[in-house]
């Protein structure tokens, strides 16, 4: 039996949010699926670009690299990421991802809240 709150969404119908550095597409969150306790999205960072340094006060993030290579700033550490890398970012940790390769980074991003909060530091 299907849960009455189960929602199937055609991701091709969802909008991309475009920034100077790349795009975000939200696949699941409390806005798209009321009652959702998670957020899931696709992030693309173009070659030579990086997203702004930020943190999430109300949730942790898990990032899975689907394509590309980059450097992830994680508080005061810099970690090398490539296709297949997985990183867990605890709530409150300052971070961002810079594309150091020649192809677009594609990563799946997941948050432990359906209504994730983001505080930008730049």
In this prediction, residue 8 has a pLDDT band, given cuts at 50, 70 and 90, of confident
CATH code: domain of residue 49: 2.60.120.10
Structure tokens at 42: 């696709």
* 44 located within any domain: yes
Q: Which residue has the higher pLDDT, 64 or 13?
A: 64
**Sequential DSSP letters for 66-103:** EE-EEEEEETTEEEEEETT-EEEE-TT--EEEEE-SSS
* Residue 106 DSSP code: E
* 114 located within any domain: yes
Per the structure, the complete domain to which residue 61 belongs is given by: 16-120
pLDDT at 97 exceeding the cut of 80? yes
* 10 located within any domain: no
Distance CA 117, CA 39 (A): 11
Structure tokens at 82: 């490539």
Under 8 Å between Cβ of 47 and 99: yes
Distance CA 119, CA 94 (A): 9
Backbone φ and ψ of 12, nearest 5°: -65, -20
pTM given for the model: 0.92
* 9 located within any domain: no
pLDDT at 4 exceeding the cut of 90? no
């Amino acid at each position: 039996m299907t849960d009455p709150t189960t929602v199937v969404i055609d991701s091709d119908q969802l909008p991309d949010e475009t920034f100077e550095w790349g795009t975000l597409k939200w696949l699941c969150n409390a806005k798209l699926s009321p009652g959702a306790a998670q957020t899931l999205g696709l992030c693309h960072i173009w070659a030579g670009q990086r997203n702004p340094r930020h943190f999430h006060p109300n949730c942790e993030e898990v990032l899975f690299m689907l394509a590309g290579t980059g450097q992830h700033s994680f508080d005061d550490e810099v970690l090398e990421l490539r296709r297949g890398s997985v990183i867990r970012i605890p709530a409150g940790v300052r971070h961002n991802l810079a594309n150091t390769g020649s192809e677009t980074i594609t990563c799946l991003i997941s948050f432990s809240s359906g209504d994730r909060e983001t505080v930008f530091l730049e």
